[in-house]
Structure formats: C-alpha cells, structure tokens
Amino acid sequence: MEGKQQQHQPPAGPAVMGAASDERRSEDGKDGAGCETLGRPLGPTPSQSRFQVDLVAEGAGRPAEELRKASGEDGAAGKGSEEAKGRFRVNFVDPSAGDESPGEPGGGSSEGGNVSFQNGGDTVMSEGSLHSGGHHHYYYDTHTNTYYLRTFGHNTMDAVPRIDYYRHTAADLGEKLIRPSLAELHDELDKEPFEDGYANGDEGTPAGEATASYTPDSKGVVKFGWIKGVLVRCMLNIWGVMLFIRLSWIVGQAGIGLSVVVIGMATVVTTITGLSTSAIATNGFVRGGGAYYLISRSLGPEFGGAIGLIFAFANAVAVAMYVVGFAETVVELLKENGALMIDEMNDIRIIGAITVVILLGISVAGMEWESKAQIVLLVILILAIGDFVIGTFIPLDSKKPKGFFGYKAEIFMENFGPDFRHEETFFSVFAIFFPAATGILAGANISGDLADPQSAIPKGTLLAILITTLVYVGIAVSVGSCVVRDATGNVNDTIVTELTNCTAAACKLNYDFSSCQPVCQYGLMNNFQVMSMVSGFAPLISAGIFSATLSSALASLVSAPKIFQALCKDNIYPGFQMFARGYGKNNEPLRGYLLTFLIALGFILIAELNVIAPIISNFFLASYALINFSVFHASLAKSPGWRPAFKYYNMWISLLGAILCCIVMFVINWWAALLTYVIVLGLYIYVTYKKPDVNWGSSTQALTYLNALQHSIRLSGVEDHVKNFRPQCLIMTGAPSARPALLHLVHAFTKNVGLMICGHVHMGPRRQAMKELSTDLAKYQRWLIKNKMKAFYAPVHAEDLRDGGQYLMQAAGLGRMRPNTLVVGFKKNWRQSDMRDVETYINLFHDAFDIQYGVVVIRLKEGLDISHLQGQEELLSSQEKSPCTKDVIVKVDYSKKAETDTSVAFAPSFSERTTTSRKDSKSQPSPLNLADQRLLDASTQFQKKQGKSNIDVWWLFDDGGLTLLIPYLLTTKKKWKDCRIRVFIGGKINRIDHDRRAMATLLSKFRIDFSDIMVLGDINTKPKKENIAAFEEMIEPFRLHEDDKEQEVADKMKEDEPWRITDNELELYKTKTYRQIRLNELLQEHSSTANIIVMSLPVARKGAVSSALYMAWLEALSKDLPPILLVRGNHQSVLTFYS
C-alpha cells in the first residue's frame, strides 16, 4: 500500500515543494523550509547549525545499503538509516563538518541553513520537527505528516495508524516508531516541543529508546513452520518408549475397553491444555521461552518464575530419562548377543554418556541440524509403527505358541475386560501410561524459533494430539485383538483332544497355555516385547524404540536451555544472569546447553530413575495446570487486552483442565505431587519477596483491578456506620520525600486501617507544572512503595495553595474511600513568611471544616521539611546530565526534585544549593550544622520502636472522639505497642474526683486502655506575666493599631491586609488567648517527657478571628514541646460503646 502511495504523483498545489524548490528557496531567502508558514523561529540559527530532510525509501525487506542508495544518502549521514524506513527524517548536521552538508551528493550549500530535499524533496517542514542538537544527530519521524497524507488533502503532523507505533522498543519483527505526542500536536507553536531532548517529550523514556530501533540481520536466521517446528516435534515427544514396550502390557492389565478409557482420559487433559496453550499463544506476539513465557506473561513473574525453573529442570532430567531408556534397550540387545562390556548397570552409564554427548553435538550444531535429525527420527518411528500394523495381518504358526494368533473375535472378547494382577489398579495403570501423553509443549517450547508462533502452535499441537491419540487407540485395539494375555512359548502346547474345562480364547484356537499360569513367559501380561514379536520385521521395532527415545531426548535437550535462557533474560533470578547470553545468528543458549548436558549426565550416571520419573511427570503436570489456570484467570479478569485469535476455548473447561492436572498429579504419585507443590510454592514466595521490576500486564494485575473496582462499587452502596469509621487522611505533604516524619507518623495510625493520600499542589507556569504532574505521579508513587508506605500520591495544579487544597478535598478518593481528615504540617516559619501565605494556610482549615473534614496539625520543634538537606553534591551532576527532574539520594534515603520543581507545600522553600565542581560531585556530603543534624534525626524518629513511654491525650473538647481514636490506633501498631495512654481533661477543682470517674467510665465503655487520667482544675488560671509579654511581642508586627490611626486609613489597611489583628479583636478574645498560653505552661509541666502529645485543636470563628491571631494561638499553644498533634474531628461520633 505504502509502495503504491510512493509511486503516486501528488497534485501540484501551494503546499507542495517539488524538485524545483531550489529556485523558490533562494528567492524567499529563508533559513529553512516552511519557516514563514510556521510563524516561529527555528531552533538553530543559520550560523549555528544546519539540517537536511532525507526521504528514506520504503524497503522493509532490503538491506541498509540499498536503502541508502534509494534515498541518495552519503554514508556519513546515513548512520541509522535502517532506523528510518518509509518516512522522512530530519537530520541535524554539525556545522563544524564543513560547508557541504553530508548527504547532499552535489554539495551546493549556500551560506546559512541548508535544507536538502532529495528524491524530489516532497515535504514541508512541520512544527516540532526541528531542534538544535549540537554535535548529535536527532531523528524525528515525520512519516505521514507530508507525502502519505496527500489523500487527506492537507499536510499535518498527525500520524495515520501504522503497526510500527505499537512495537516494543527492540522488537525482532521491525522498528519502533514514535508517533507525535499530544504536546507536539496541541501545544502553542512558539514552544519548543523537544525541549527535553526526547522526540516525544517523554521524560521516562531513555534517549536510546525514543527513536532507536532494533533491526536484526535476517540472513541465516532459521525459522520453522508449523509442521517442522510444532507437529513433528510434538508427535515425536508424545510417542515415547511407552508405545512399543508398555502399551501392550497396559492392554493386558486394563483390557481393551479400559485401555481406551485410559488413553481417552490422558487425551482429555492434554487436549484441554492444548486449547489453553493455543489461546494464550494467539493473544499477542509470542517470544522464546515456551511454557515459561506463556505462564509468566499471563499470571505474572511469580508463577512464571516458579514454573520456568522447574519446567527447565524437568526437561533437563527428562533428557536423562529418555537416554537411559535408549541405553537399556541397547544393553538388552547386547545381553541377548552376549556382548556386554562390563555389567548391565555400567553399560547403561557408558552408552548413556556417549549418547548424550552426541545429542549435545547435534543441538549445538544449530536448530537446523536438530530439526533435520528430528525428521529422520520421525520417519523411522512411522516405519516402525507401519511394520507393526503389517505384522498383525501376517499370523505365522511359529508365533502362535507365543500368543499371537492374528485378529480373532474370541481374543478381542476375552481381552476387552480388565484383568488386574500384581496389585495393579486402574489408576496405577493410568499413572504408568500418562507420561506417554505428555510432550504437547515441545513445539511451544521453541516458540522463539517459529516463523509464526500464533498460527503454528495451535495447529501443530492440536493436530499432534489427534494423530498420536488415534495411533495409541489403534495399536491398543489391534494388539488386544491379536495377542492373548498368557502364553508359554512352547510349540508342544497344542490341543490334541477336546478339553472340557478350558474356556480361554487360546483353547478355542487349539492351544492350552494353562500349564504356565499364573506366571508365563509370553503374552500381553508378561512380555514387554510383544510389538517386536508381532511385527513383520523385528529390528525395525528396535529402531523405532531408539527413534522414540532419542527424539524425545533431543526435544528436551533443546527445550530446557531455551526456556532457561528466556527465564534468565527476564532477570527473575539474578544469580542466573550469565545464562541469558545467546550466541550466533539464532541466539543459541550455548551455556544453557552445557548446563542441561551436565544435569542430564549427572542423572544418567546415577541411573536410578524410578524415583525421578514421577517427579518429572508432576513437574510437567504442574506447568499444564498453570497454563489452564492462566486462561481461566485471564478470562475471569475481563481485561480488554485478553482477546485471543484462537476462539475454541472456554474458561470453565480450562479451569476443569487445571483441576484434572492436579488430580492426575496425585494419582501418579502423591508424595511427588506434594513435593512439586512445595517447590512451586517456595519459588513463588521467593520471587514475590524479591519483587522483580517487571510489568507484563498480567491477568493477576487485571483481576486485582477488577476486584478493587467491584468492591469499591459494592462499598458505595453501604451507608457509613460509626463502628466502621476509619481515619482517612489527606496529607498535604508536597513532595512525599520532603517531609518523611509527617508521612511516617500518619502512616503509623492509617496503615492497614484507613486511606492515606499524599496531596501535592503544583503552582507556577501551567505547561511546566503539567509536565511535572505526570513525571511526579509515577516517581513518587514508586517512592511510597519502595519505602513501604501504604498510601497514594495525588498531585494537582492550581493557581495557589488554597485552590489546590480545595480541589484535593473535594475530588480525592473514590466512592466511600474518600478522605475525611486533613493533615497538615505546622507552618513553622510563619512569622518570616509573606502573610498572604499564612492567610492561605489558615483558610485551608476553614475550607476543611466547611467540607466536614476533621483537621490534624502536626508540629515537631525541629521542623518537618528536610528538602534542603537532600543531595547538595549530586544535584549539580544530575542537572548536568538531564534537564528533567531526578531523584538524588544522599545521607538519608529520601529523594528530592531539583530546583526546577514548582511544587509548594507548607514549609519554607529552600532553593539555595551548594554548587561544587563536577570532579567533587562524588565526594561525601558537606558536614551539617547542628540544627540540620537535629532536623535529620527528627525526620526518622517515627520509624524506630518507641519503647515504654507515654502518649499524652489532652482531650479538652469533645470533637466526636477523633482526638482519642488516633492515639488508640497508634498503640495497636508494633512500634507503638509498649506506649501507654495518659488522658488529660479540663475540670473544676471541687469536682476533680467526679470528673475522673466519669472519664474512666467513658473510656472503659469505649474499651480503650489507659494508664492514668488527670483532671486539670487550674486550666483557667491566668498565665505567667513573662509568657503574656512574649505573646504580645510576637503579635506586635501583625497588629493593626486602629485606635492610633484615622478611621479611613485603618479601614483601608484592614481591607488590604485582612490578616492584621485589630485592638477590638484582641480584647474580645483575650480569654481564649490566655487559655492557649496557660495550656502551653501546663503542657510543659505535665507532658514534656511524653513521646507524643495529642491535643484538641482550638477552632477560630471564620471571619471573626484574623489569620495572624489564630496562627499566634497555635504557636503559643504548641511551642517548645515534644511532637504534638493538634486534632479536631468534624464533631460527628467516631467512637461508640454499642455492639
């Protein structure tokens, strides 16, 4: 399509700059194409830099050299040409490279900026396409902003839909292109869209990832189709030794009828798993890693990591199992011919070791050789099966004494029912057969080597299951119809006279084998080599056994390293990182091959595989169970991303398949099943604990979201009840890392109890703030998780702090999970601040009370904001590296943005930074002064265990009980559990005992433990004169002194500065002022040694008490004390004594 568009000649028009645009350009005398049209200056000036536009021809399948020829590029400027197929590239050229622009074959540079329009130069420069890059080359995808959109009748930056925009960065299939960002499309033209040096302004995208693309060398890479890659491989793996040496015995034990049931049951499990595998494999591009890749991308790294490791190990040990099966057959032949080398056991080891070395050689030679070997083995296997089928139609007299009579109805009838012997049961026979049905993932395990895994895996796997099942059933029925259960092998056991008591099928065929029962040498029950005996040419059956064992061993030897390599690439287990490396065109995991070889060799030398075999079967079954469960889980999660192209699956059938797999695990071997569960659970817990930094969009994530959504909606339909009240806090932290003490203290009483939202108001230029919002959201949410904070981060942009606070209080939260309590830090520097900021701060309290919020003010005498202590040295170097904001970490583990941040919170802004030279940037932080060191220590005090100390609760006014609930919640946490609650209340001197008893009764009804209750009878005593004087001195700069001014001047001043304290107001609230000063004296007296003080927050009437006076009250009340929480609930009960 695109090729056709290129051939199409666009209509001439004012927007088209054709090949003759050189003259037009020189007439205009402009510095670049379209400069006047854009109405904005270009990034570089003519004297600084030049740029050129290269039209790169579409040539998806052609090498880079052809592309360069097609676009007329010189080699110097063609760097990265393979990154720019089928689109225009703006190429910024270093001015120091000389006057002639590289890439212009004819030179012809004029003074100043030179734009080369090659191949007719059919393009118009669009806004956002240009950026001065210094000595770098920036490539910007202007695909579709010109030529391709002629059909739309205009030029635009907007991109038409194209697959390259949806690729991963290093996709093997083609390059990753970046579509124009929203900012580039809809921001003002006079802004520089790439001001961060990234093509799409995405700060989170590494520079290399933004435009670079991975173009693999397609020459020499081997990719298989569905027959060679999946069908052949699965059939070989499913047809194992069982087909030739155990199937006849199973028919003897279970009879033809139950044998078909056994095969059918195994097929049901494998078919359901095949359908599930097909569904997952067609839900998006499948990379290498087979079962591990499918499970990890569906259920997440925890299950994927656990299964990947045991599945790779199971495949490695399966190599040993199959090779020993082969070696046993060879040794059996040697024994028959008297050619043993040492003894049976050691011969198995020698032959096994030699075989596995040869198999390793075939595997390391490359997938192409391995695939050819598999084809040869399949041919031998099919010939062996054909040999047996032909043999059944040729009943020789010499074989009759051994029990083979050809197809006889009598034998079919006799063998149809079961005849279990030697304590065998239906399930024990099933357990022996089931491993013969495994191997269905052999094709999926090399998914990375398939040309089209989405099509190949479903077709190949399901067809392989169908063919192998039909062959198993056919052989079971035919062998059961031809051979009797017991035979002597003695030619003289023919019946001469009619026997009255002989009812066996052999008797009817004139043979009496009763002489050897119950232990005969021949027949279905006794001779494992029945198929050799029946076949037309016995050595071909031996060749079939060799083929079955070696092909399965080869498939497992290839699968294990491929799965392990994919697991190591994802870095789930960091210790195995060295095995991630691949070699050669096919990215072969040579180190993985070597490891698999060593594991297989080790188990071959042990040669005790009867114990290992059931564990291996269970490992395979565990992965089948999880593949089935993955499909069920993904369907249950209803993720819009779950839309497999393969439609013939059902979530409930997949769940049934998972349950059947678990049942079969116990049927095969109960202790091996338990061991498998323990290993999977152990690895799951390990990976969960390690928390690998990956995000694959798993169904676990989707289901978590769905559950959260459903529960949130369900919760919204339930009215709040006082028994279920939880403090849900909106903390105005600014950047969460800047005020750790505030965060840790609130987290102490909200963790696993209530909601905690960190509000951050960004102010300043809207464009810059919007950019910060998106980057901060991810950065600080990560910071909260890293610091084990169960909290959400909520940034907003507002004109000022009060607006931002209102937005957060009204809009933060969801349904019933909304904040009900505003938490702020005390504005310690209020006297030095602009009083308009203080007015805004106090208005936040009023707004909170208006919205029916409770308010908590937290004060530490050292302060809360540690932002100025973070990263003085590292800050400079981080700013040099990138203009975007970074987390820099120094003495404490809290990050902080650079001074470009426009965020504001309630502490003074410290924008001064110590600048050091680059070479000193790695040196130790400069020593802190005493105040800063104390501030730093205070910021971590709530992270430590609090010891046996007091939490003093000054519950002076009834606010609904929040003042009491917060300290109680603190004592339920591990770090605070040794603290005792002391309660202080106001009262009258003559009723102290009565008030204490009343409070004790109330607390016991609330079931809140306390160590002491103290009634303060002297709460209304006049404070000390020096304290009153200190208060008056503090408020002096904020007084209006209207009595000393003319009425008009005073009114004007009050209007301009509403925060000022009038003489009238001071007189009116003298009693309340004195109470705050007096309370501070009492606090100093009784609670100076407390760990924390929780106290009722005084309320100021809106419009009556000025901001300066209210701030002075809070200052006077809380100064020079241990950490103090000033709490005021919303005056609705949060405690109840009813059940």
Nearest one of 819, 827, 781 to 801, comparing CA atoms: 827
pLDDT digits (tens, 9 = 90+) for 798-833: 988 899 999 999 998 888 888 999 999 998 888 888
pLDDT confidence of 237, banded at 50, 70, 90? confident
Among 244-248, 366-370, 415-419, 1134-1138, the minimum mean pLDDT is found in: 366-370
**What's CA 33's distance to the chain center, in Å?**
45
**What's CA 1047's distance to the chain center, in Å?**
68
Residues 707-711: what's their mean pLDDT? Answer: 89
Residues 456-480: what's their mean pLDDT? Answer: 92
* pLDDT value of position 42: 42
Q: What would you report as the CA-atom Rg of the chain, rounded to the nearest whole angstrom? A: 41
Highest mean pLDDT among 605-614, 869-878, 996-1005, 1036-1045: 996-1005
Name the token pair of 385. 């099966």
Residues 611-625: what's their mean pLDDT? Answer: 82
Nearest one of 597, 566, 589, 578 to 315, comparing CA atoms: 597
* pLDDT value of position 549: 85
Name the token pair of 426. 């239906």
DSSP β-bridge partners for residue 89: 54, 141
Q: Please, are residues 323 and 604 in contact by the beta-carbon 8 Å criterion? A: yes
Query: Would you put residue 1060 in left (φ > 0), alpha (ψ -120 to 50) or beta?
Result: beta
Query: Would you say the C-alpha torsion 259, 260, 262, 266 has a positive or negative sign?
Result: positive
pLDDT confidence of 81, banded at 50, 70, 90? very low
Residues 281-296: what's their mean pLDDT? Answer: 80
* pLDDT value of position 169: 60
* pLDDT value of position 467: 94
The 3 state secondary structure assigned to 423-492 is: CCCHHHHHHHHHHHHCCCCCCHHHHHHECCHHHHHHHHHHHHHHHHHHHHHHHHHHHHHHECCCECCCHH
Among 624-628, 833-837, 906-910, 981-985, the minimum mean pLDDT is found in: 906-910
Cα 864 from Cα 57, distance rounded (Å): 60
pLDDT over 50 (residue 327): yes
DSSP-derived secondary structure letter, 117: B
Name the token pair of 673. 């099943």
Query: Would you say the C-alpha torsion 252, 254, 257, 263 has a positive or negative sign?
Result: negative
DSSP-derived secondary structure letter, 640: T
Cα 670 from Cα 1039, distance rounded (Å): 85
* pLDDT value of position 579: 83
pLDDT digits (tens, 9 = 90+) for 142-154: 444 444 444 455 5
Residues 472-486: what's their mean pLDDT? Answer: 90
* pLDDT value of position 286: 77
Query: Would you say the C-alpha torsion 765, 766, 771, 774 has a positive or negative sign?
Result: positive
Concatenate the DSSP letters of all residues of 24-76 into one string: HHHHHT-SSTTHHHHTS--SS-TTT-EEEEEEPPP-TTS-HHHHHHHHT--TT
Question: In this structure, which amino acid lies at residue 262?
Answer: V
pLDDT over 60 (residue 110): no
Contacts of 1047 (CB under 8 A, 6+ apart): none
Residues 951-978: what's their mean pLDDT? Answer: 88
Determine the straight-line distance between the first and last CA of the chain, rounded to whole angstroms.
Answer: 73
Name the token pair of 1126. 């000033």
Cα–Cα distance list, 178 to 182, 429, 695, 963 (Å): 12, 59, 21, 54
Determine whether 844 is exposed, middle or buried from the number of CB atoms within 10 Å of its CB (0-12, 13-18, 19+): buried
**What's CA 755's distance to the chain center, in Å?**
24
pLDDT over 50 (residue 28): no
pTM: 0.68
Q: Please, are residues 409 and 526 in contact by the beta-carbon 8 Å criterion? A: no
Cα 936 from Cα 903, distance rounded (Å): 21
pLDDT confidence of 502, banded at 50, 70, 90? low
3-state secondary structure of 953: strand
* pLDDT value of position 661: 92
Contacts of 665 (CB under 8 A, 6+ apart): 617, 618, 621, 622, 625, 672, 673, 676
pLDDT confidence of 138, banded at 50, 70, 90? very low
pLDDT digits (tens, 9 = 90+) for 532-565: 888 888 888 888 888 888 888 888 888 888 888 8
pLDDT confidence of 866, banded at 50, 70, 90? confident
Contacts of 681 (CB under 8 A, 6+ apart): 306
pLDDT confidence of 887, banded at 50, 70, 90? very low
* pLDDT value of position 503: 65
Residues 987-1007: what's their mean pLDDT? Answer: 86
What's the mean pLDDT when you consider all of the chain?
75
